[in-house]
Chains A and B, each alone.
With several copies, the nearest count.
Chain A
Amino acid sequence: MQLDVLYFAWVRERIGLAKEQVTTDAQTVADLVKELSVREERYQAAFQDMTVVKVAIDQTMVSLDAPLKGAREVAFFPPMTGG
């Protein structure tokens, strides 16, 4: 499966890019996080505490155990601070 993976705010800064294409067999968001974290240290730095990282699949907020099946776009970001 090929996914667009997006990063925002300090997640983006730690990983060092805003968007990339990832080819993965991960079943869930948590699997994808694990897969990326072992890949390179910068992912591990961004994902070390997943209680402060939020996830959206195709622009809808989901939990870590959400299945990736059918997903086109996955985004990781800190809790929002707009307003």
Chain B
Amino acid sequence: MSVSVQAEDFDLGVEVAAMTSGNPDIGAVVTFIGLVRDTTGGALLSMELEHYPGMTEQALSQIEQAATKRWSLNASRVIHRYGNLQTGAQIMMVATASAHRSDAFEAAEFLMDYLKTDAPFWKKEHFKEGGEWVASKAADDAAKDRWSS
């Protein structure tokens, strides 16, 4: 179980290998990667990620602990970047490892849904004409709420 908030990029293969190495109980690993997407067909210059240092790490750890309590996980990993990122760059990843695929899948989705609404990150898209803060989505609240039922 481990959380990193960093400016640097990460290597998915290396992270997954580190999670699973030497643990013969792991049968399933699910990962999610978020990438900087250009929805304008080429006008995006970059995406800036702001966060709340201190609270971010705490929020991510709490979300990870909640997932670990709810599903049978052998390991989990959350990495979220901040700073100025180019189109196609990796923004963040979550990875979950378990004996069985259903635990790994559900826990990864849970981590993502809570991370979206509870981890203090904000995205700003930079265009030639200026910057624009990405609006939060009602769908993200709905996605999180499904875990409470």
Contact = CB atoms under 8 A, between A and B. Distances in A.
Contacts of A79: 117, 136
B27 to A, nearest CB: 10
B119 A82 contact: yes
Contact of B118 (A8, A61, A78): A61
B77 interface: no
B52 A77 contact: yes
A80 B121 contact: yes
A81 B122 contact: yes
Interface residues of A, number: 16
List the 4 closest A-B pairs by CB distance, nearest first. Answer: A82-B121, A79-B136, A9-B122, A59-B55
Contacts of A77: 52, 120, 122
Contacts of A80: 116-122, 136
- Looking at chain B's contact residues, the main secondary structure is mixed
Contacts of B124: 9
Contacts of B117: 79-80
A81 B118 contact: no
A75 B52 contact: yes
Interface residues of B, number: 28
Interface of B: 34, 49-52, 54-55, 58-59, 80, 91-92, 101, 112, 115-124, 133-136
Interface of A: 6, 8-10, 56, 59-61, 75, 77-83
B80 A78 contact: no
B121 to A, nearest CB: 3
A82 B58 contact: no
A9 B50 contact: yes
Contact of B133 (A6, A60, A78): A78
B46 to A, nearest CB: 15
